Amino acid sequence: MSTEILETQLDNTSLDSQDLLQREVEEIRARYARRRDGPPHVARALLAPEKILRFQERERAILRLIRTRMRKPPWELKVLEIGCGYGGNLLQFLRWGCCPWNLAANELLEDRLAVTRELLPGTVSILPGDASSLAISPETFDIILQSTVFSSILDPAFRRRLAQKMWDWVAPGGAVLWYDLRFNNPFNPDVRAISLREIRELFPAARIISRSITLAPPIARIAARFGAGIYMLLASLPPLRTHWLCWLEKVPTSNCAGPIVVQKRQSS
Ligand SMILES: C[S@@+](CC[C@H](N)C(=O)[O-])C[C@H]1O[C@@H](n2cnc3c(N)ncnc32)[C@H](O)[C@@H]1O
């Protein structure tokens, strides 16, 4: 995607709020500095049986959403991922038929963005820095992916600001694609789950399609040892799932009679 879609705009946030936003950005950096993540190529590898099963389950669910909700073929979709980490999700979009020049990758942490640059084709737009401070023209993207970014933002005002920006950047008929924690992680105080109610409050104008997904890791590790059938059986039980997968659709104004909430379980 060429950079002409990005326009410089004056940010009307007050100086006080700018200060608070900057503080949360520094907090996010500090939280990630405390983490003991392995090297990116190890994190990306799918050799562990539970990882490939989890990956495939999510892939099927997202492809179903794109197939049933989007009116455009993948090669025409303009996609932005905020907080893309090491770029693995955008690699999936390429595999699904999207064109690299229609993809944009944003990430706060420079070391992660450097890996993303190496991984993705040079025609992918790279947007460094805090996602909530990006200057992007309204209605630019068909899909904006946020995958476990909001759970690492603990300040409610920051979350609201980022959600509002993302919503502005989505084109009518497009959607924010949401994958994030449904429950708090007792071993990680640096993340906070987001309920469906909060998601609705963050995107009040969205038509929401939601489902729980992702078998809890300790159960997944044991289940995967007994094969894909047992894994899928347990993954079919909603209380054992740790994440929400949501399609937050921007209904074109002509059809829009206010927010509609569609909550349905989809078999993957
Ligand atoms: C848990 S990681 C997930 C990475 C990737 N989305 C994925 O699903 O593999 C969350 C990422 O969001 C990034 N992040 C957090 N807050 C951000 C912000 N305000 N702007 C841009 N990136 C942010 C972090 O640096 C981190 O790389």
Per-residue pLDDT, 80: 98
User: Is 50 exceeded by the pLDDT of residue 224?
Assistant: yes
User: Is 50 exceeded by the pLDDT of residue 3?
Assistant: no
On whether residue 98 sits in a domain, the answer given is: yes
Ligand 1 within 6 A of CB of 153: yes
Nearest to 143 by CA among 73, 210, 193: 73
Closest-CA residue, ligand 1 atom 9, reads 85
State how far the Cα of 97 lies from the Cα of 93, in Å rounded to an integer.
Answer: 7
Do 79 and 98 touch, CB atoms closer than 8 A?
yes
Domain containing 54 equals 13-263
Q: What percent of the chain has pLDDT over 90?
A: 79
On whether residue 8 sits in a domain, the answer given is: no
Mutate which of 25, 108, 176, 192 for ligand 1? The one with the most ligand atoms within 8 Å of its CB, which is: 108
Q: Which helix (H) or strand (E) holds 213?
A: strand 207-215
Span 57-80, average pLDDT: 97
Ligand 1 within 6 A of CB of 107: yes
Residue 247, token pair as written in the block? 């399609």
Return the ligand 1 atom nearest residue 81 CA.
Answer: 6
Closest-CA residue, ligand 1 atom 23, reads 83
User: Is 80 exceeded by the pLDDT of residue 263?
Assistant: no
On whether residue 7 sits in a domain, the answer given is: no
Per-residue pLDDT, 6: 54
Span 187-196, average pLDDT: 94
Mutate which of 62, 107, 115, 178 for ligand 1? The one with the most ligand atoms within 8 Å of its CB, which is: 107
Per-residue pLDDT, 187: 87
User: Is 50 exceeded by the pLDDT of residue 256?
Assistant: no
On whether residue 5 sits in a domain, the answer given is: no
Closest-CA residue, ligand 1 atom 8, reads 147
Tell me, what amino acid is at 98?
C
Per-residue pLDDT, 116: 97
- For the chain, how many structural domains are there in total? 1
Span 192-201, average pLDDT: 98
On whether residue 96 sits in a domain, the answer given is: yes
- CA–centroid distance, 191 to ligand 1, in Å, is 12
Do 122 and 85 touch, CB atoms closer than 8 A?
no
Span 12-36, average pLDDT: 85
Ligand 1 within 6 A of CB of 144: no
On whether residue 213 sits in a domain, the answer given is: yes
On whether residue 32 sits in a domain, the answer given is: yes
Span 201-226, average pLDDT: 97
CATH, residue 29: 3.40.50.150
Closest-CA residue, ligand 1 atom 14, reads 83
On whether residue 6 sits in a domain, the answer given is: no
Mutate which of 35, 152, 160 for ligand 1? The one with the most ligand atoms within 8 Å of its CB, which is: 152
Task: List CB contacts of 191: < 8 A, sequence separation 6 or more.
Answer: 148, 151, 152, 181, 184, 185
Per-residue pLDDT, 1: 62
Q: Residue 262's pLDDT band (boundaries 50, 70, 90)?
A: very low
Mean residue pLDDT of the chain comes to 90
Closest-CA residue, ligand 1 atom 22, reads 83
